[in-house]
Structure 1
């Protein structure tokens, strides 16, 4: 059974606080690592990230070292193990790509995950465990996870991508509005992972974030297709370029904000997504009243979904808008509940 990224992110803090180990499973680039980081931040926990795939068993049980007597040996913790043992604040120890790790390293993790101690070293009570892995079918080098290791986790959650969840994350993390608008228009392309032998990427949340970074470089238009195809594959890049052509041909968004009461309202979904996402990216406390006026006109024109999207995106990008008179008036008005989802 699969779970959306937002649902997993809301569940993980409860598991961390109860000190119950959790493992996230999913295709490459779906956002597993980001979910763990987001949940740790929500709890106020420190985050220690280990990569068992490039580790040795001693990384998780300590390095054999002669005792002072010279007659016996003990295991001395080092690296991430020592950092976690000596931690004084609530901490999440995240074992990323656990399924790619050698069997010997997985076995070294078993006692830590359940007994929370190994070779005389006990983990502090404030340490919680999380792990992530790809699936065997993803061709990511996963040979499987030992059954005793799997049973050490309180629950295993299979993550699936959600265009709505990703859009909220993208807004909060500075992803370019063109990309967000495109994914909303073509949500199936958010994650269309197709593992293969060829050196070609597939569309996934991580790849779209890379496209956003590429766009920031102002690559010449004649080279954009090649650059974006290298990140998300040729098919998705061709569709993106068609959308960008439309996006760039829209009426000037600043012109809409200058005269929201009479500015043109698009009638095609692709243009609506582009206009709404672009306007929300420009929203601030100073122009909130104009943004809301255009949102009202969208609703009156029968585009209620897009009017709600415009208001919510604006608030997500600029929380200060909630302190404006325009927002207070909107929230108290007869359609406030429609816009705010209450």
Structure 2
């Protein structure tokens, strides 16, 4: 069953406290690991991350160690297993890239997932399992997951990328507005179902996150090459072209100085860009002027972009909700649209 990032967060918020194990599948770079980390933090759990692709079966059952008289042996836990067995606080044990593990390592996980014990060692009740894997079609070295291991999970869900979820993350993490605006204008470029055996990256949420980190430091004249290395040449070329439009937009300072007369772009890509940039520049002290411009956009038939602008502003700074301009807008149709989107 395919779900979006918001739905996955809701699922994990319910299943983690209930100690129900979840297996998350999906393409490379869709944010599976990040969402699990966020969910563990939101639930107030510690997070233990295991990578079974580099494990031996002994990692899941312990090392055999003989008694002093040599008459018997015990399996002594070590590494991640020891940490989980000794966990004093609620813990999410996240098994990443499970499908890349060898069958013998997968088999060693079965008893842990079903019986919550291995040999004589029993896991504390406050340990919850979550696992993630790429799919066989993702060129990620996944052969399969053993059927008995799959049946140990309460549910298996497939994570699909979402432009709304990515932009919410980007706005909250101060990603440059030109990149957010570009992907809002070209959401199909957030990810691709294409596969390649060549040594190159294709568009993915992880790749665009890498672009966001590169933009402040990439040397001038190397933007296309650097960005193409993260998301592919075609997507990089479109973004570079969009940046040229973005750089010729009306000044944000100019809009905030005279919001009642500042020009409103009619080109849709420019509208997307100016809305995103103004939403990032908004704060409680200038939000009254932001709303003047937003109401003008609404009146000229660009309500979708006005709502986007105000939603971004509130997502970045919740104190805006206490401003007179925000409160006064709630009694209008515009205010209801904003609240519905937010």
> In which range does the TM-score fall when normalised by the shorter chain?
over 0.9
Q: Any idea what SS the aligned residue of 2:330 has?
A: helix
- CA-CA distance at 1:325 after TM superposition: 2.5
Q: Please, what TM-score do these two structures have when normalized by structure 1?
A: 0.97
2:79 is equivalent to residue 79 of structure 1: yes
TM-score, normalization: structure 2? 0.97
Paired residues of 1:193 and 1:202 also in contact (CA < 8 A): no
Q: CA deviation at 1:259?
A: 1.0
Q: What is the CA-CA distance between 1:69 and the residue it aligns to? A: 4.7
2:310 maps to which residue? Answer: 311
User: Residue in 2 aligned with 1:113?
Assistant: 113
Superposed counterparts of 1:39-50, under 5 Å: 39-50=39-50
- Matched with 1:34 is 34
* Deviation of the 1:193 alpha carbon: 4.1
Q: Deviations over 1:130-183 (max 9, x none)?
A: 000001111100011000000001100011111111111111123221111111
Equivalent residue pairs, number: 341
Query: How far apart, CA to CA, are the structure 2 residues paired with 1:250 and 1:335?
Result: 25
| SS of residue matched to 1:335 | helix
Residues 193 and 203, structure 1, Cα contact 8 Å, conserved in 2: no
Q: How does 1:156-167 map to 2 (within 5 A)?
A: 156-167=156-167
Cα shift at 1:85: 1.1
Shift of 1:289: 1.1
Larger deviation: 315-324 or 113-122? 315-324
Once the two structures are superposed, the pairs formed by residues 253-272 of structure 1 within 5 Å of their partners are 253-272=252-271
The separation in 2 between residues aligned to 1:335 and 1:137, in whole angstroms, is 45
How far did 1:66 drift? 2.0
RMSD: 1.3
For the pair 1:214 / 2:217, whether they are aligned, the reply is: no
Cα pair distance change 1:291/1:264, threshold 3 Å: same
**Local SS of the residue matching 1:341:** helix
SS of 2:9's partner is: helix
Is 1:141 the equivalent of 2:129?
no
CA contact (8 A) 1:193 1:204 kept: no
**Aligned 8 A contact 2:218 2:226 in 1:** no
In the superposition, relative to structure 1, how do residues 67 and 296 fare at CA in structure 2: closer, same or farther (>3 Å)? farther
Residue 25 to residue 89, structure 1, CA distance change in 2 (3 Å): same
